[in-house]
Amino acid sequence: MKSSPLTRFAAWVADRNVPFVVITFGMVVMLFWAGAFKMTSAGAEGITPLVSNSPLIGWEFRLFGPYVGSDIIGLTEWIGGALLLLGLWKPKAGIAGGIVGVVMFFTTSTMLITTPGTIIHLNGMGYMNNLGLFLYKDIINLGASFYLIAYFGGRVVRQPAGAGKAAGGAGAAGGAKA
């Protein structure tokens, strides 16, 4: 089969495991940064309308109040980010970090439904407004978290006992060559 620029580029992306690198480091930076912001008064006040309308996590703000509740959410994001980062050397930690992400992003994805004002109606058609689009991105983050669970899980299955080599090279899970 003749190689084209598109297939050569796709092979280059797969050989260097670009999806894993971008998703992992993008997720780690986002979780640390967003977690830190949630530990500020502006961050706590910003998520209060989202969390207080959620049947899955609204109890946390009722129990602890918005500032401590937001700190707990921020700390959870930091733990998830740290586990994903540690997963580069200890893949089981990466699996745990992915699970933290799945729980968080499933919860925030449901806020698209439970938060008033995420959908606006124009000319009889419903559209997501900026808040709706902000929440919708967590559906993508949910998928990224599942991808990372599968990636790190694949490393655990293929890893010889006692190996602890950092991830990121060719031959990784997620469609790259084994």
Band of residue 164 on the pLDDT scale cut at 50, 70, 90: low
Q: Is the pLDDT of residue 175 over 90?
A: no
| pLDDT in the model for residue 18 | 96
Per-residue three-class SS string for 50-102:
HHHCCCCCHHHHHHHCHHHHHHHHHHHHHHHHHHHHHCCCCHHHHHHHHHHHH
Amino acid at 62: R
| DSSP structural state of residue 165 | P
The pTM of the full predicted model, rounded to 2 decimals, is 0.85
Burial 41-74 (b: 16+ CB within 10 A, else e): eebbeebbebbbbbeebbebbeeeebbebbbbbb
Give residue limits of the domains in the chain: 17-158
**pLDDT per position as a tens digit, 22-42:** 999 999 999 999 999 999 999
**pLDDT per position as a tens digit, 57-93:** 999 999 999 999 999 999 999 999 999 999 999 999 9
Band of residue 171 on the pLDDT scale cut at 50, 70, 90: very low
The average pLDDT across 9-25 equals: 96
